[in-house]
Amino acid sequence: MKIIVTGGAGFIGGNFVLYAVDKYPQDQIINLDALTYAGNLETLKPVEDKPNYKFVKGDIADREFIFNLFEEEKPDVVINFAAESHVDRSITDPGIFVRTNVVGTTTLLDACRTFGIGRYHQVSTDEVYGDLPLDRPDLLFTETTPLHTSSPYSSAKASADLFVQAYHRTYGLPVSISRCSNNYGPYHFPEKLIPLVISRALNDEEIPVYGKGENVRDWLYVTDHCKAIDLIVRKGREGEVYNIGGHNEKTNLEVVQTILRILGKPESLIKYVTDRPGHDLRYAMDPTKITTELGWQPEHTFETGIKDTIDWYLNNKEWWQNIISGEYQNYFTKQYKM
């Protein structure tokens, strides 16, 4: 089987490529990535010389390029991780999110229709559902929860999901969609909460926390997510949406405090900053459907996953220090005014 993985030099896509190349040596894994700010080919060093791995640089919104690639490679499966994904950046510049997340998705769908595809899988997010109240821990997102977006990022992802479903209903394209909770783990770009806290704590630098840190997220270890996607692509029903959650709800402040405690750093490093506009209160997924139909269960608790993540960052300082020393530093200063 030949699989095109878009966004395979990013965080989740990169972890999926590492997983798939090793697990399925008989499959050809083509990593398609535009190498924007969050793309990092250093992530793929462990597999770059494997015979079943290939990297292609390109933009999923470039229609001529995508059609030429499909004609040349004739993929059996496309798994679309490629997306602009940082909410703060979407508030600053919504247009690039529309181009990548919406135009890019429909370009891939058109190519899949034209060249014939065994399965197109869209990697989506819990943020398309909006948020849940903090005082109702009994409420969870299900696959039938109405879409109710809060940011340009989540609006672009929700739009992409609707196009995927429309191509299935209108054209009979074999598709599936997964919506995941917040991922964490190795190779996470340092602007995101957990790697940001780890990297700054190790340097004894102030750690920005939005508002009072009360916002709740359900944390999912990235390899658990990759295994869930693999199951959906190979065994999931066509046209279906599957929620993937970690059963690990934590406030942002709890996450920061946990990391500081493990690293032996003081909570005095925490600096509360002005809250993000439209900041969702709580995300919480109900993964009953994927568990019941496909037998998937997360293998990591937050306690085991966060320790593994911190160990990875301690043992791979060069990877994230190379990122922090670049353009990202200018963005961080501008974004958090620190």
Sheet holding 182-184, edge to edge: 182-184, 216-221, 249-251
300-331 as b/e: b if 16+ CB within 10 A: bebeebbeebbebbeeeeebbeebbeeebeeb
- Residue 235 CA neighbour count, 13 Å, CB half: 12
Burial of 334 (0-12, 13-18, 19+ CB in 10 A): exposed
Residue given tokens 């599936």 in the structure block: 176
CB contact at 8 A, 35 and 62: no
How many Å apart are CA 184 and CA 307, to the nearest integer?
11
**Entry field: residues in the chain:** 338
Alpha carbon 192 to its chain's center: 11
Which backbone phi and psi does 276 adopt, to 5 degrees? -70, 140
CB atoms within 10 A of CB 230: 20
Instruction: Indicate which residues carry an active-site annotation.
Output: 126-127, 153
Q: CA 277 to CA 94: how far, in whole Å?
A: 14
Single-letter residue type at 202: L
3 state SS of 323: helix
